[in-house]
Amino acid sequence: MTAELVEAAVAGRVAAGDAALWPRVARPGWTGAARAARPLVGEIEALREQRRVAGQIRVVLAATGGVGVAAEALADADPRLIVLDTTDPVQVADALAGELAATVLVVSLPPGEDPTPVRLLRDAAHAAFRAEGLDPAAHTVVVTPPGAPPQPDGTVVVLGPDDVDAPWAVLTAYALVPAGLAGADVDAVVADALAARDALAADTPDNPALVLGALLADAPAVALAGEEAALAEWAAQLVAGGLGKDGRGPLPVLVEGPGAPEWAELPALGVGDVPGALATTDGPPAVQMLTWQHAVAVAAHLLGVDPTDRPDARPAPPPATPPTDAPAFTDGAVEVYAGDWLPAGTTTVTDALRALIGGALIGGAPTGDATHLAVHAYLDRIDDASAAVLRPELARRTGLPTTFGWAPRCLPGAGQHAAGGPPGGRVCQLTGALDGAGDGEDTGELGALQLAQAGAEAGVLAARGRPALRLHFTDRVAGLVTLAHAVQHL
């Protein structure tokens, strides 16, 4: 397949942003993002120096649509960067409990994303600043496309392009500003990306983007592992969101390493130097990111889809209140919510999971055999991190390729694939009570939006005939224990 790509000059056409390669082009600006970002280098360096002089060395990023994952990858998981791409009240409260006098809030909202979550996060942070006697405007940087609403006096505004879509916005101001303020060498990032362009545009058989793109287009699923967790997560999100649409696209399974169940069963791809991988990317983060972008664009051409469009990951904004449906049943500290595909008389989480991956019915019609399981955890990825440990055990017990993602952070990728990719996927959502989040109107609104987002995702899946199971932990610790026991009995 690589020879045909070379003959058709696909690599050079991708680099040039040739719109004829794809059936529709939603936001093609990523192809020239590195070059367009060159003037940003000095602006970000000056902004970082100003913030350093003001004693602001801690960055809290309020973002949506994949920007947080991209910024973490660019910043190499620098602890000075704290990403809030969720309205989970527990996680928000923890992020705002730090030294606020040393904190700068970066509000980053690429075009086309729902502004509601970012607005609530900004309001919560500003309330925390005011409670400490600090001027919110003096501690805020907003990254926005041209034409966005005006900001309060004193707020620094950095303009980002209006023709990119996260996570394709990784080499634009939306990710570069927060990463740069947290210490990333933006000059080196942009220089690395520009230096890699010629090799990725070369129509030669050894072009890594052509090799990787052909692999992605040919495989129903791939296993991904990486030296840097954030970079591997970003790559998995790019593949899932870029290719999982129109009923096609490979499932990227982000695994813990070569010992994961899927590593020997699926084509294994490495982000960085991963032993045993069929293909890997290497070099600085910017080079690897650009390679993956070009590879996904090549695979999208082969699959006949537009890589930057996310038609199924953009449901209407969720309602202001969470779903009010009664649980189908309660098992210990877990309330179980499901559609009419759940067999009557189901009383345990174990049996609900079995029904989810078995012969589920929607509208009286069979949904077909399950091909994979996706877990979307609307929880605190710091305090509830143990939920992710269940992924390999679920894969082993069910025999299905199993993905795990923190929601809504994962929705631009895994959410798009779950709703728009090949049929056969099953989604298990995890949500939790708000104990420990503090009191107040802000906490209630944040939590309500989080549950409403889960409800909106479930609604999109149901409309496409794809069953979703929501397990709500009335106590987060006890709920995770209940779930772990249920998995052991599958």
pLDDT in tens, 89-126: 999 999 999 899 999 999 999 988 889 999 999 999 99
- The domain spans of the chain are 2-20+194-303, 33-189, 329-488
Nearest to 104 by CA among 176, 212, 178, 27: 178
pLDDT over 70 percentage in the chain: 94
In terms of DSSP bridges, do strands 468-473 and 334-337 run parallel, antiparallel, or are they unpaired? antiparallel
Average pLDDT over residues 30-41: 95
Residue 331 has pLDDT above 50, yes or no: yes
pLDDT over 90 percentage in the chain: 81
Residue 325 has pLDDT above 90, yes or no: no
- N-to-C CA span, the chain: 41
Residue 360 has pLDDT above 70, yes or no: no
pLDDT class for 352, splitting at 50, 70, 90?
A: very high
329-488 to CATH, choices 3.40.1000.10, 3.50.50.60, 3.40.50.10490, 3.40.50.720: 3.40.50.10490
| The predicted structure's pLDDT at residue 388 | 96
pLDDT in tens, 199-234: 999 999 999 999 999 999 999 999 999 989 999 999
Average pLDDT over residues 363-388: 84
Nearest to 434 by CA among 390, 360, 377, 379: 379
Give the up-direction half-sphere exposure of residue 302: CA atoms within 13 A in the CB hemisphere.
Answer: 27
E strands in 171-324: 221-226, 251-254, 268-271, 279-281
| The predicted structure's pLDDT at residue 365 | 46
Element (H, E) at 406: strand 402-406
DSSP 99-147: -GGGEEEEEE--TTS-SHHHHHHHHHHHHHHHHTT--GGGGEEEEE-TT
Query: Which bin fits 411, alpha (ψ -120 to 50), beta or left (φ > 0)?
Result: alpha
Residue 438 has pLDDT above 60, yes or no: no
| The predicted structure's pLDDT at residue 364 | 47
pLDDT class for 437, splitting at 50, 70, 90?
A: low
Q: Assess whether the region 33-189 and the region 329-488 belong to the same CATH fold.
A: yes
How far apart are alpha carbons 207 and 151 in whole angstroms? 44
Taking the model in full, what pTM does it have? 0.95
CATH class name, domain 33-189: alpha beta
